[in-house]
A and B are shown apart, each in its own frame.
Chain A
Amino acid sequence: MAGSDVATDASSAPDTVKILIAGGFGVGKTTMVGSVSEIAPLRTEEPLTMAGLGVDDLDGIEEKRATTVALDFGRITISRDLVLYLFGTPGQQRFWFMWNDLALGALGAVVLVDVRRPESSFAAIDFFERRGIPFVVGVNGFHGDHPYPPEDIRDALAVPEHVQVLLCDARERESCRDVLIALLDQLIATAVQT
């Protein structure tokens, strides 16, 4: 961490923690952030040139985002001295390096899955598994429809037993809240065991 030559603390500032909302492109991450956030989702963008990417790397990015990678996030005030931030991760997982500290220090993650194309969330699941970051899977039904039971989705995604798979609707505040609570319950259960 930093040197001690300057003030590195502000006692009036709240503690902050974060949870990541991940998943494939267009799976409803920003919608979910917006559903539970107390503020309208905020967006911050990084220019891609910083990383010295080759032109080839721009293939497949939406044209309107050709020069930046966006990160959407929201905020939930847990108490006067504790604030939870929700970060919707960039849909294209290979750009996560733009935010080196994004996954670092996260309580855990929600991987959103679109039932119509679950494969678009494989990379996110793989990312958290390899880094040992706890996560739950939220199956976001298109228009709230859920044609498959959670166990079918679990099999299709090869998600391990200890990871919860929940049906949800990213547009509904209560539904998103319940997914976050499921993640916290999972984290608490793990913490109690250790």
Chain B
Amino acid sequence: MGGGDSAGRLVRPFALTGGRTRPSRADFTLIATVTAVDPQPVAAAPVQPEYTRILRLCAEPLAVAELAARLDLPVSVVVILLCDLLEAGRITVRPPRLVSRTTPDLDLLKKVRDGLGRL
């Protein structure tokens, strides 16, 4: 979270996406988990260093929000870059657990409850 460059920050992040401000897919919600494909497909590599940073960070599964925080980039920018990587077959994404209000998952709730109890 650099302090003094607030004027530049607004412009720079979306330069990384080539000016795109909307993602091409809806997969990457805040707690969707991203994992780099290993080994990486033998394809034309995107040259931007941000892609490489993302792939390195999600060598182990990592949530989108965490990825954004560690890259110090807005979620909206990271999501667009992730769409590129997903379409290039370089990452996989796991959606969050579905939470239904009408048919609550009692097992899931108990699991979370027990986990909190162990804190």
Q: Which residues of A contact B (CB under 8 A)?
A: 1-3, 6-10, 12-18, 36, 42-47, 49-50, 67-68, 71, 73, 75-79, 82-85, 87, 99, 101-102, 104-107, 132, 173, 177, 180-181, 184-185, 187-188, 190-192, 194
Contact = CB atoms under 8 A, between A and B. Distances in A.
Contacts of A78: 111-112, 114-116
B116 A188 contact: no
Given A2-B27, A82-B111, A46 B76 contact: yes
A82 to B, nearest CB: 6
A17 B112 contact: yes
A1 B10 contact: no
Interface in B8-43: 9-10, 13, 21, 25-27, 29-35, 37
Given A43-B1, A68-B6, 14 more contacts: A2-B26, A6-B89, A7-B37, A18-B31, A46-B75, A47-B10, A67-B9, A73-B65, A76-B115, A77-B115, A78-B112, A101-B29, A107-B109, A194-B102
Contact of B21 (A50, A71, A173): A50
A58 B102 CA distance: 38
8 contacts: A50-B76, A101-B29, A105-B96, A105-B97, A107-B109, A181-B113, A184-B112, A187-B109
B61 A17 contact: no
Interface residues of B, number: 55
Nearest to A133: B101
A194 B103 contact: yes
B61 A14 contact: yes
B113 A42 contact: no
Contacts of A12: 35, 61
